[in-house]
Amino acid sequence: MGQSLLITGGAGFVGSNLARAATRDPRVSRIVVLDDLSTTNSGHLDGVDVDFREGSILDESALESALEGIDAVVHLAAIPSVPRSLVNPVASHHANATGTLMLLEGCRAAGVNQVICSSSSSVYGMNPALPKHEREWVRPMSPYAVSKLATEQYLLAYQSSFGLSTLPFRFFNVYGPGQAPGHAYAAVIPAFVDALMNDRPVPINGDGSQSRDFTFVGTVCEILLNASVNAVSSPEPVNLAFGVRTDLMKLIEKLEDITGKTAKIEYRDPRPGDVPHSEADNTSLRQLFPEIQPVGLDEGLKQTVDWFASKY
């Protein structure tokens, strides 16, 4: 008998990719998705064999129903992005921090003992160290980053206090097929691809020297699935990235090569709360998942552009 898996936020970018991957995994027999569709739509799950529940992790009855018979939870539900949290800090706190606490209480009541969650590299904030190690000090620069720090620390506290098996991952810049462009909070890669493919100026907040550790969504999902079915836990947060830092100007060059387009760049003011550089120390990740071979940036960008071209 395979595992019964709940994915909160499973209609979103990472969640829908995870749901699709889980349907192909013989170790998973049942997939429940709980999503309130506040920042996405159910269309991401079209053709994916899941038990979809429209509801919020802040709704105790919706949580109780979704957790019935579940073996493990991958908790991705959140109000994502730094800019969103600057517009409405309270909403980000409720969804990300309070929502995580309610989920953990629901898991305790339902007897679910395995919880994996997405935290964020943004928790490092003002710490200038490169690469970022999990034992480095954190100093969040945005309400979003604070709420994700609360998310991961609640999991670790419940591990210490109640014996739950938990694993908080600090996501770095996850990208790939299914990541929507065309809205105010679009991530950098879909925003760049969208602009290039439609012959519009490529928007850069700042001078383009800022760098990120981009991680392909397929690799992220492979790790989340392995962590779930193998009940992997950690007493500390774990960076989910591979220590390959790329600045935005280099990223644009790579996308120009793939698309055959020449970018016209539109420089904008830096965004409040954005960190200048991000790069993961992946020692802990490699120790926990030594068999994982990440998809490289060039291949990941090609798959992303191909998806964009077929979709839009």
Please give the positions annotated as active site: 144
Query: Which of 250, 241, 173 minimizes the C-alpha distance to 204?
Result: 250
- What region does 297 belong to: left with phi over 0, alpha with psi -120 to 50, or beta? alpha
For 6, the 3-state DSSP assignment is strand
Residue 260: Cβ-neighbour burial (10 angstroms; 0-12, 13-18, 19+): exposed
Q: What is the largest CA-CA distance in the chain?
A: 56
Distance spanning both ends of the chain, measured CA to CA = 40
The number of beta carbons lying within 10 Å of the beta carbon of residue 208 is: 16
Residue 107 to residue 61: CA distance in whole angstroms: 13
Report the DSSP pairing between strands 245-247 and 211-216.
antiparallel
Residue 233 to residue 156: CA distance in whole angstroms: 10
Cβ 31 vs Cβ 49: under 8 Å: yes
